[in-house]
């Protein structure tokens, strides 16, 4: 069936083997935080999350320790095709022998176990300072009017730069370090500029920590609004984009596709940014009505983003790919797996588009052919190529992996009480 599919695509000038081979080279960062509802290991797990981030649902089996999280990650890695890298938050520091360090005092050694985990599996690792779920994150962080609070979080950011440099050096792959805060106000502020000026200065201070921009890629992630900060977000789209544009030698913009007004699409923003930035970063997620973080589906916008990444040449390192969703209402390993597989599907689908031909008819002004060709693409035997990709990566095809997750749930997850 694959051979037949391959022939059908070949008639359109698309080489399915080449698409599969290309996709295998593209790293996608797997976020550690789907496995434990963004809890991390450095704060009391009985306390609620704070700082503009929330999970809903209480499906059994949340990972409670580094060992459990790593075991669950291994399951996901086994079930997903393609090249993966890890994506850690600072709150996932692993302390040993009763030791503990606050966020401003984190050191590379607190991530040594993650380095070992990545090395054993040949993975790179991205990183994120954690500006939420902490007693000092009960309001503004990097934009706080309180110099002590600001100093604490700047020192956290600097510590994270050092840890990112360590991860990049140990693992021999670049480390994308993303700065996101939930700083903002629930209701109408009177000073909208003050927090933004302080935010800018704080990011400047963090990025004054020495690092090698070839290895560490600091990003700024914007957001339209968040839980509890409905009226005003300090790190808005204009703020973050301007920051990155003015600091191109040390910072890149990160777009999370759940962080815009519902009719805005990141697929269209990708080529707009790439016209100015050689490198951009993405959080691939699914917004529903008013927030991000639902499990990624093989839906139209995910496909459209993947097409833009492919068409703009973003698979050669220009677009840093990371996932960002967390659902605590369904089996977390299934959620993780589904999202990663769906994003891989979208990338494969995009690689199988006759992009050269489509561009040609567009440039010739033949918009009739353009629309017809794009529509016909939708019913080509994509599933056969996807199955072949999964087989060639040694992972289960669709229809084969859910059973394995259910078995793991019975054998391992339900026992976590």
What amino acid positions are annotated as catalytic residues?
A: 180, 221, 223, 256, 259, 283, 291, 293, 324
Q: Interface with ligand RNT includes 233 (CB under 6 A)? A: no
- CB closer to ligand RNT out of 173 and 257: 257
Q: How far is the CB of 286 from Zn ion (least distance, A)?
A: 12
DSSP string over 344-365: HHHHHHHHTS-HHHHHHHHHTT
- CB closer to Zn ion out of 11 and 261: 261
Q: Interface with ligand RNT includes 223 (CB under 6 A)? A: yes
* Ranges within 135-154 binding Zn ion (CB under 5 A): none
Q: Interface with ligand RNT includes 37 (CB under 6 A)? A: no
Stretch that binds ligand RNT, among 62-70, 186-194, 218-226, 358-366 (CB under 6 A): 218-226
Q: 299 — alpha (psi -120 to 50), left (phi > 0) or beta?
A: beta
Q: Interface with Zn ion includes 31 (CB under 5 A)? A: no
As a three-state string, the secondary structure of 40-90 is CCCCCCCCCCCCCCCCCCCCCCCCCCHHHHHHHHHHHHHHCCCEEEEEEEH
* Residues touching ligand RNT, count (CB under 6 A): 12
CA 272 – CA 292 distance, rounded (Å): 22
- The interface partner of residue 128, options being ligand RNT, Zn ion, none and the CB cut-off 5 to 8 Å by kind, is ligand RNT
Q: Interface with ligand RNT includes 14 (CB under 6 A)? A: no
Question: For strand 252-256 and strand 280-284, is the pairing parallel, antiparallel, or unpaired?
Answer: parallel
DSSP string over 231-277: SEESS-HHHHHHHHHHTTTT-EEEEETTSS-TT--HHHHHHHHHTT-
Rg (CA), the chain: 21
Residue 284 host element (H or E): strand 280-284
* Ranges within 83-142 binding ligand RNT (CB under 6 A): 128
- CB closer to Zn ion out of 89 and 283: 283
* Ranges within 275-304 binding Zn ion (CB under 5 A): 283
Sites of contact with ligand RNT (CB under 6 A): 33, 38, 53, 128, 180, 221, 223, 226, 256, 283, 292, 324
């Amino acid at each position: 069936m694959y051979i037949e599919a391959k022939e059908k695509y070949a008639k359109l000038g698309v080489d399915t083997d080449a698409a599969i081979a290309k996709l295998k080279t593209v790293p996608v960062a797997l976020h550690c935080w789907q496995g434990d509802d963004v809890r991390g290991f450095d704060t009391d797990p009985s306390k609620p999350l704070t700082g503009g981030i929330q999970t809903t649902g209480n499906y059994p089996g949340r990972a409670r320790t580094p060992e459990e999280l790593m075991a669950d990650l291994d399951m996901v890695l086994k079930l997903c095709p393609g090249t993966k890298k890890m994506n850690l938050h600072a709150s996932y520091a692993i302390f040993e022998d009763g030791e503990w360090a606050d966020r401003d005092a984190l050191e590379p050694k607190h991530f040594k176990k993650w380095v070992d985990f990545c090395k054993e599996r040949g993975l790179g690792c991205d990183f994120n300072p954690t500006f939420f779920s902490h007693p000092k994150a009960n309001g503004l962080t990097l934009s706080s009017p309180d110099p002590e609070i600001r100093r604490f979080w700047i020192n956290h950011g600097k510590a994270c730069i050092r840890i990112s440099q360590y991860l990049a050096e140990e693992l021999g792959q670049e480390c994308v370090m993303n700065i996101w805060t939930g700083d903002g106000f629930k209701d109408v502020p009177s000073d909208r500029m003050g927090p933004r000026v302080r935010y800018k200065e704080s990011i400047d201070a963090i990025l004054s920590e020495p690092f090698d921009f070839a290895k560490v890629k600091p990003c700024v992630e914007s957001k339209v609004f968040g839980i509890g900060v409905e009226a005003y977000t300090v790190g808005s789209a204009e703020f973050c984009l301007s920051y990155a544009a003015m600091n191109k030698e040390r910072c890149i913009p990160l777009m999370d596709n759940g962080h815009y007004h519902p009719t805005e699409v990141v697929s269209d923003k990708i080529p707009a940014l790439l016209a100015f930035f050689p490198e951009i970063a993405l959080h691939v997620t699914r917004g529903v009505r008013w927030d991000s973080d639902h499990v990624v589906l093989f839906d139209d916008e995910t496909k459209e983003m993947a097409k833009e990444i492919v068409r703009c040449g973003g698979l050669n390192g220009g677009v840093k790919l990371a996932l960002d969703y967390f659902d605590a209402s369904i089996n977390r390993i299934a959620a993780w797996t589904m999202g990663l597989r769906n994003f891989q599907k979208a990338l494969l689908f995009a690689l199988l588009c006759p992009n050269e031909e489509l561009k040609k008819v567009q440039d010739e002004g033949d918009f009739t052919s353009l629309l017809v060709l794009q529509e016909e693409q939708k019913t080509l035997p994509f599933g056969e190529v996807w199955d072949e990709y999964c087989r060639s990566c040694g992972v289960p095809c669709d229809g084969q992996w859910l059973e394995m997750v259910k078995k793991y749930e019975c054998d391992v997850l339900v026992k976590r009480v």
